[in-house]
Amino acid sequence: MLKYDREQVMRIIPQRDPILLIDSVEELDPGNSITATFFVHPDMAIFQGHFPGNPILPGVYTVESAAQATSLLFLSLDRYSGKLPLFCGIDNVRFLRKIKPGDTITLKGSLLSENTEKAIVKSHVEVFNGDEKAALVDVTLAIR
């Protein structure tokens, strides 16, 4: 199993601050499974408006972190290395628990399908806040 720190993550996926939402990869089996983490920093600008006095990480950030985990899962393969991952779809999204400033989320993703001819990949990602499942999402990416 491979492990990556934030600098190594940035060598694989194109996102950068303020939208880079993966801090580390704890386990990676390229093309099969990934476990990644993200610390929800209390100083993120989004918390100024979502929601004042009761900050919660917006669901779109949770979905984006799942897409970035999926990107890492596939861009770590030689056939996709250096390519651009583009959102094609999100399915079966469920938000189960709040994610607040100061939380560290863990994203556990696994391959659902891959069409190598069209370079379309799909994964299922479970997002955990501590030991509790916070969200579920199926992510589809076109790798160009």
Mean pLDDT, 10 residues at a time, the chain of 144 residues:
96 97 98 98 96 97 98 98 97 98 98 98 98 98 98
pTM: 0.97
Looking at residue 90, its amino acid is I
- Catalytically annotated residue among 10, 15, 50, 97: 50
Is the distance from CB of 110 to CB of 123 less than 8 angstroms? Answer: yes
50 is catalytic: yes
Distances (CA, A) of 7 to 4, 25, 58, 92: 8, 11, 25, 31
